[in-house]
Chains A and B, each alone.
Chain A
Amino acid sequence: MDQLSQHIVNALMLGGTYALLGIGLTLIFGIMRVVNFTHGELYSFGGYMIFLFTSVLGLNFYAALIVALVLGILLGAVIELVLLRRLRGADIDTTMLVMIGCWMVLQNTEQMIWGGVAKAVVSPLPEEPLVLGSVSVAWLRVFVFVVAALLILATYALIHWTKLGKAMRATFQDRDTASLMGVNINAINTATFALGSGLASAAGALLGPVYLVTPTMGNLAALKAFAIVILGGLGNIQGATVGGFILAFAEEMGAGYISSGYRDAMGFLMIIVVLLFKPTGLFARAERIG
């Protein structure tokens, strides 16, 4: 029982960050129909930004988190303006190849600047963990969970209750009609890509101090994000949120009670099952985007 409650807490903490990674990716696919291979690089970009601003430049940790989020948004906007805007109307394969190229360029640039050796980011949160009975969890993980939840809620709110969100949903439903109704599709695309990228960067900045920052940290993160998006249904934000938690629980319980050697396989095994029986994802019937 003690072990089970510890596993549940672990899975919740992990699920929050998985959900955050997933919604950024699903948003971009849903609205722009772009398979964003740079998602993992924005994640490691966030990790390096938190390292740069706290460990190198000595900025306050919380301020550095906000800076990482903002810089992620800016980098996303630049990628959209420079690459994706020119590719609008190009077929999905072309865009995919360009994004794969961009992923490689970003990863190698990181490697060139920072070197291949992992960096550790020090957080100001207490090293002593939070202990509740038999369950114990690092304060940093709790903080990361809370911030991730807030960012997810903020994204929901943005999509549901703002004019920008309404325009995003309209673009998702029918791009041409939305455009005829006066929605500026270019601006929506930039905003969407920037927002998705910002979320990935924030995830990297949050998890950098939990783990270590390396140029390849985004690879595994992107793989998980893709899994979550497929699980939840492409373009489905609720699906991605729930999908993130499902993947975390599958990994945690699979590793805890079946075999840790197959931990990363558990999630993907589940995806194979989902794709076989419900290829549009677990939550396909729910309204997409918001």
Chain B
Amino acid sequence: MAQTWMKAALIAAGVSLAIGGALEAANTIKIGVNQPLTGAVAASGNFVANGAKIAADEINAKGGIGGTRIELVIEDNKSNPTEAVAVAEKLIVRDKVPVMMGAWSSTYTLAVMPKLMEYKIPMLVETSSSDKITTSGNPYVFRISPTSGMEAAAFADKVGRLKIRKADFLVVNNDWGKGAADVFQKMLKDKGVVIGVVETMDAAAQDLNAQLSKIKGSDADTLFITTAVEQLTLALKQIYALRLKRQIITTGGSQNPDQLIEQAGAAANGTLHLTTFAPWFPGVSPNPEATKAFIAEWVKRGNKFAGLTEGFRGYDGIRTIAAAIAKAGKAEPEAIRTALWNTQLTGLNGKIAFTKAGPKGKESGQSIPDVYLIKIDNGKVALHLR
């Protein structure tokens, strides 16, 4: 008898928990966030997630969307494409999110994309640069970060001024790195620049001396590097130790220049970086007031200033999603997807509005943000060739 009572009590407890959970779920609008919080590119993923939290708190402080609070469900994809897919599936199936943001690296995003088609859930892409993401015909993808092609185009008018005659490449061996190497080579060739060696490195590789020694054997004047800040730090330190004297230009917007200054020291001096946000100069942002407010809040929360160049993407991403949900009037995947096409707002790095990209009939959305070239000069960041 006592046992039966125990069972009944347990079942009751279980049911009430389940109902409680369901009630809570009904009270918030869930937004899935798929980021690398641990592993090879953890610094970046954490910064994006922290930016996202600021946006969510700001929106909730103003009463949420139509009176309903938003709730971020942030999951760690462990800097691994397989995990990124597992995270997407978990967010969709278990948390039942109507929309997601992710997944930082192009490789993770590309891995997740078939799941968007399968479950018909839109995803806002905040960081990935591979052109393939918006040209492969996935109508659930909306990207606010620039493609490598856009970066190359924005850089084209600076080739002559930087006196680039022959260029080598060192890129991370994935969709992002190789994609960037392709489009930058094409742009440089059109400008009459000779291409030297193109070297790749595994995303987790720490010793890059073999690749760099090979590059040292080339007679190029400029070296383009595409990778995240951790590996970039190692590359710069090893370049310095090898006495590899080149004009160094990095692409992709995940360089966290302040972190480079702090961790690579003298090795970072004189390097040039293409970035999509310039927190050192909030005045050049299209939205200086919002930018200053974001930076103040970021620092107030104890985040490193260095992370701002990543963090703003999480902030803009969640604000874009929230604007789309408000426009849709309901938190349902298809309604949000439709609304995203008509969503317009001023992000911290330009107007956010989606234009059609990719094959007709199944276009992806692509926004066109600003791109800046910055230079690290004696441990300080300066805008270059504006």
Binding site for B on A (CB under 8 A): 2-3, 6-7, 10, 13-14, 111, 115-118, 120, 127, 129, 131, 136-138, 141, 211-212, 214-217, 219-220, 251-256, 260-261, 263-264
Please indicate which of the listed interface residues B210, B216, B237 has the most CB atoms of chain A within 10 Å of its own CB.
B210
Q: List 23 A-B contacts (CB under 8 A).
A: A6-B242, A10-B213, A116-B37, A116-B38, A116-B45, A117-B42, A120-B262, A127-B265, A127-B266, A136-B243, A138-B241, A141-B241, A211-B234, A212-B230, A215-B38, A217-B206, A252-B209, A255-B211, A256-B210, A260-B201, A260-B214, A263-B210, A264-B205
Residues of A within 8 A of B217 (CB): 2-3
- B-chain residues with CB within 8 Å of residue A260 when the two chains form the complex: 199-201, 210-211, 214
Residues of B204-243 contacting chain A, CB below 8 A: 204-207, 209-211, 213-214, 216-217, 230, 233-234, 237-238, 240-243
Q: A116-B46, A127-B265, A136-B242 are in contact. Are A14 and B38 (CB under 8 A)?
A: no
Q: Is B267 an interface residue (CB 8 A)?
A: yes
If over half of A's interface residues share one DSSP class (helix, strand or loop), that class is named, otherwise mixed; here it is helix
Show the binding face of B for A, using Cβ within 8 Å: 37-40, 42-43, 45-46, 76, 173, 199-202, 204-207, 209-211, 213-214, 216-217, 230, 233-234, 237-238, 240-243, 262-263, 265-267
Whether A127 contacts B267 by the Cβ 8 Å rule is yes
Q: Is the CB of B206 within 8 A of A127?
A: no
Apart from the given pairs A216-B38, A219-B204, 9 other A-B contacts in the complex at a CB distance below 8 Å: A2-B217, A3-B214, A6-B216, A10-B209, A127-B240, A129-B242, A138-B241, A220-B204, A260-B211
State whether A10 and B210 are in contact (beta carbons under 8 Å apart), knowing that A120-B233, A120-B262, A264-B205 are contacts in the complex: yes
The complex places the Cα of A251 from the Cα of B92 at a distance, in Å, of 42
Closest A residue to B265 by beta carbon equals A127
A111 to B210, CA, bound (A): 30
Which residues of B lie under 8 Å from residue A117 when comparing CB positions?
42-43, 46
Q: How far is the CA of A211 from the CA of B199 in the complex (A)?
A: 20
User: Chain A nearest CB: distance from B217 CB in Å?
Assistant: 4
Q: With A120-B263, A137-B241 as known contacts, state yes or no: A261 contacts B200, CB within 8 Å.
A: yes
